[in-house]
Chain A
Amino acid sequence: MSLTAAFFAIIRRDLLLAFRRRAEMANPLFFFVLVVTLFPLAVGAQPNLLQTMAPGVVWVSALLAALLSLDGMFRSDFEDGSLEQMLLSAQSLPVLVLGKVVAHWLVTGLPLLVIAPLLALFLGLPERAMPTLWLTLLLATPVLSLIGAIGVALTVGLRRGGMILSLLVLPLYVPVLIFASSAVDRAAGGLPVSAQINILLSMLLAAAVVTPLPTAAALRMSVN
């Protein structure tokens, strides 16, 4: 069977699994909403203040939600031996890894786009910034999944890898955070954002091509 067939088979299987475990799917979303809710409670509800902070708050929360959902990416495959079988597949491992990341993003990243308008509403983000918020989420959350996959692959064999995972992954998220939140910030002020969007797009393309290689190498290490 061909490589593309294997790639889509892995996406189909992971989506099916996510559907069968759908109770877990909503957790990162609740987390996203919850973290955003904490900010007005902590810093006060002055509309001006919230509006200034909105791009940053939404993006920091999206980043934390993405981080929280990472742990599930390879965990069950590691525990039930599916990962070993994936490594023994005659197909290219980085491509299979890319399939896993795509499926993971469809399940955990895409829903963030759906809930984002609600949060923008909570924080009083101007309506004209909405398309940019969507676009940054669309371009940048896959980058978070791709980079995060390296960290998960490195820590999947550890019993308590969660804290280490965030230590490994968060510094690498800094560029994404900077450009994505700055784009939303500028859009809220009515400024052009094409530079930021282009940078995010090139980050996405580069990450999609490059990150599966270290992730695959890290999975081989973890299965050892």
Chain B
Amino acid sequence: MDGKCSNGLQVSGLACSRDDRLLFSGLSFVVAPGEALLLEGSNGSGKTSLLRILCGFRDADAGELFWRGRPLVDSDYLVEMAYVGHAEGIKKELTVLENLRFSRALNQPGKLSIDQALAKVQLAGFDDNAVQTLSAGQKRRLSLARLLITANTLWILDEPFTSLDRQGMALIETLIGEHVAAGGMVVMTSHHDLNLPVARLQRIHLDTCH
């Protein structure tokens, strides 16, 4: 491993198949601090599968993953990463505040307090509302607020813009930009046309990774 990649997420020779159909193979990339990676590809090209491999939910058929130069299992990967997937991982019977407190209890507390994070995602004043009274876009912003209240450097985002309006999308784009500018890393999928304020943005098109 060369010195550059040892400080971030490195993937080499990754392959994944589903139902005996090869989704991608020989996939290698490096995401270093201050970089974002946008995964593109048609439906069923394996974007979500790749993210689930990065989360450790799924085993790759081949290939290796390193975090800061060490195999994922031997590293602080789980402490340093955060994931927002299709399922938002928030409880609809609990309030906004209860949900965020619980997420923080499961992880290390981050830079922002819960109040600051809620203000950032424009949910200030919703603390005691039950999540089931929120709109789909508000729920999405709540699940992204989780990224701000826990300590993490790598964000793994699966279609983070789903059910957000234009204003909400712009907000999340800004958050991603700030995170990357502060030395964070982002790996994400999206089928929206994005205007990410990120200087070092990589794109990988999964349909071509065979």
Contact = CB atoms under 8 A, between A and B. Distances in A.
B98 interface: yes
B87 A81 contact: yes
A79 interface: yes
A122 B105 CA distance: 46
A191 to B, nearest CB: 48
Nearest to A220: B57
Contacts, number: 82
Interface of B: 52, 55-59, 76, 78-79, 81-83, 85-94, 98, 101-109
Interface of A is mostly: helix
B57 A1 contact: no
A79 B109 CA distance: 26
A20 interface: yes
A16 interface: yes
Contacts of B93: 17, 20-21
Interface residues of A, number: 27
A80 B88 contact: yes
B105 A1 contact: yes
Given A13-B94, A223-B57, A90 B85 contact: no
A1 B102 CA distance: 11
A13 B91 CA distance: 10
Contact of A84 (B81, B83, B94): B83
Interface string A68-103: 000000001001111011111111000010000000
7 contacts: A1-B106, A10-B102, A17-B94, A80-B91, A82-B89, A88-B55, A90-B76
Contact of A9 (B83, B105, B108): B105
A5 interface: yes
Nearest to A91: B106
Contact of B106 (A6, A81, A220, A224): A6
